[in-house]
Structure 1
């Protein structure tokens, strides 16, 4: 490697939605968007010079969504970073074609030989563009792979999703490098020789304070879940656990939207201890966390094949200092059981037992457990630290010209 050059010119390709636009479409993954925004901020103090962010702005495809055409956006992000949301036809078949054509055209014009193109996931925009640009422009192509769907598990067993799965199998070993959310992706997709694990991160950490909810031993015990209301996030397990538990002091607050929104609404109508708030801002979610005694992160790992996911929400929850109840998910660099209550029995009975264990241990024990987790995240998993790790990885894989 030529060490006298200190800057990596990077083009970031993903599905970024700028702050203030998050409510414009229900197709936006708020966890994924927070991750990408954290990355963009985190690269500020590294050897990476972020030239531009090229984004596919998510929308439900017509006619499920109302837009037939997305006209694109051009903005300047903090740090004077150019942001381009690619215009596209929001129609079946044509969406992927027009998004990929727009990304390719942009990079053919703006990318130089030796630049790094970093994809956040490789479905849309397609990571195959990176190999084409490497051939034509001489760029270095990397991908952050933060979810891979297994057909018949978390997505339909259709030709489209089979193609995407096998595209990952073929593509990942051929990239210059892979930043994966779990070690299982690197092993199963033959990318151990050109990959590292980065499970996610947090952009802002709360100060080391005693959360009022833990300090005052309140008369109620409030649990909070914020995220997609889908089967793989354990929504039905949490609701059945609440039905099993008769403790009058229990409260469960649920935030988010998804396929199980109606299920949550009906549960809240039947049980006054359950509150459903729908979609709220991230600052409002943070305020809810501060008033909670337990945060819920019940990712299904046994009934569904979710081995190529890692709930980045877990990192956010651990960073708050509030105790967390989670299933035994793992990315590869830490064991959740060291910092959270872990459910091995992925049934309503198992989740209920985890809730009761946290209640029984009391405020002082739970505060100590939460503070241990908060300190671990602050020392190891802020986006500034994760981006230093990523930038070092990039330097080991390329010759900067």
Structure 2
């Protein structure tokens, strides 16, 4: 039996996938199409025939097709404004928690280890190079455990060789990393416009990390939700006050702050709530 769905939801924008869905809608006129855009890699400042240039052109073509969908769910309002989308068919959603967040929220036990944990792509847009530099430069005496892979892996590995306060684990599965995040006094999540536009590429892992019991350390990146910012440890973009903010968080960020962060995330960043809102929007179109 062949499925003939009345509603199709695409996660992220890809040229051929978008084109196939539009062809399907042309065949079945009553089909409603929606697209969730969490990552948008568009950079026409690079050469057309470079790898990044070709990827950017492909993304623009895909985005041009996505504009004709019935519902667009971008990660930021900047995407709506900059690409002149029809705001009447847009729902802003920065991202939501996954099942790993539920594990991080088990109980309200205090953190058990004075360690810092960074988990993510080892790229400059995630600030891992700046974090390591400031950790060493400010002589922070706690272990910093780093998980991930990327272009800065060699830099991190070299720092770990030179300092006993930097521990590089390489890439591990999320469940393994979760065990460290559950006991860490500080968890880190940064975002910079280096190699990408942070207005189009929000660190959605933030919502999972915000559910950990320790202090959440962030920079004041674009679109950082106030409900998370108000219950986190916010450092300067150059991290010059990293050590100071970490010390202050030892007394200012405890069980109550973690609870407030979790409550905010659960109320505002649930994929279930997002999908429910999308279906209600699309159902009104299908039944119109």
Q: Which TM-score bucket, shorter chain as reference?
A: 0.7 to 0.9
C-alpha distance after superposition, 1:128-187 (max 9, x if no partner): 222222112332221110111132679967541342242255223211111111121122
SS, match of residue 266 in structure 2: helix
User: 1:177, 1:318 → 2: CA distance?
Assistant: 29
Query: TM-score by structure 1 length?
Result: 0.63
2:234 — aligned with what? 342
TM-aligned CA distance change 1:124 to 1:279, over 3 Å: farther
Q: Tell whether 2:96 aligns with 1:209.
A: no
Paired residues of 1:201 and 1:312 also in contact (CA < 8 A)? yes
1:59 — aligned with what? none
Tell me the matched-pair count: 280
TM-aligned CA distance change 1:152 to 1:324, over 3 Å: farther
User: 2:120, 2:177 → 1: CA distance?
Assistant: 10
Paired residues of 1:178 and 1:194 also in contact (CA < 8 A)? yes
Residue 275 of structure 1: how far off its partner (Å): 0.7
- Kindly indicate whether structure 1 or structure 2 has the higher relative contact order, using CA contacts under 8 Å at least 6 residues apart: 2
The two structures, once aligned, show a CA RMSD in angstroms of: 2.7
Residue 270 of structure 1: how far off its partner (Å): 0.7
SS, match of residue 186 in structure 1: helix
C-alpha distance after superposition, 1:14-46 (max 9, x if no partner): xxxxxxxxxxxxxxxxxxxxxxxxxxxxxxxxx
Residue 276 of structure 1: how far off its partner (Å): 0.8
Q: Tell whether 2:130 aligns with 1:242.
A: no
User: 1:282, 1:363 → 2: CA distance?
Assistant: 29
2:80 — aligned with what? 186
Q: Tell whether 2:93 aligns with 1:198.
A: yes
User: 1:137, 1:375 → 2: CA distance?
Assistant: 42
One of 36, 41, 51 as aligned partner of 1:144:
36
SS, match of residue 376 in structure 1: helix
Q: Tell whether 2:54 aligns with 1:166.
A: no
SS, match of residue 258 in structure 1: coil
2:269 — aligned with what? 381
TM-aligned CA distance change 1:200 to 1:273, over 3 Å: same
TM-aligned CA distance change 1:278 to 1:136, over 3 Å: same
User: 1:190, 1:202 → 2: CA distance?
Assistant: 29
Query: TM-score by structure 2 length?
Result: 0.86
TM-aligned CA distance change 1:310 to 1:368, over 3 Å: same
Paired residues of 1:225 and 1:295 also in contact (CA < 8 A)? yes
1:328 — aligned with what? 220
TM-aligned CA distance change 1:244 to 1:361, over 3 Å: same
Q: Which runs of 5+ in 2 are unaligned?
A: none
Paired residues of 2:118 and 2:188 also in contact (CA < 8 A)? yes
TM-aligned CA distance change 1:281 to 1:246, over 3 Å: same
TM-aligned CA distance change 1:110 to 1:368, over 3 Å: same
Residue 274 of structure 1: how far off its partner (Å): 0.7
TM-aligned CA distance change 1:134 to 1:332, over 3 Å: farther
2:148 — aligned with what? 256
C-alpha distance after superposition, 1:52-76 (max 9, x if no partner): xxxxxxxxxxxxxxxxxxxxxxxxx
Paired residues of 2:209 and 2:216 also in contact (CA < 8 A)? yes
Q: Once structures 1 and 2 are overlaid, which stretch shifts more, 371-380 or 265-274?
A: 371-380
TM-aligned CA distance change 1:239 to 1:307, over 3 Å: same
Paired residues of 1:203 and 1:384 also in contact (CA < 8 A)? no
2:8 — aligned with what? 117
Residue 334 of structure 1: how far off its partner (Å): 4.6
User: 1:247, 1:369 → 2: CA distance?
Assistant: 24
TM-aligned CA distance change 1:279 to 1:357, over 3 Å: same
Q: Which runs of 5+ in 1 are unaligned?
A: 1-108
One of 207, 228, 231 as aligned partner of 2:121:
228
User: 1:152, 1:271 → 2: CA distance?
Assistant: 40
User: 2:130, 2:177 → 1: CA distance?
Assistant: 21
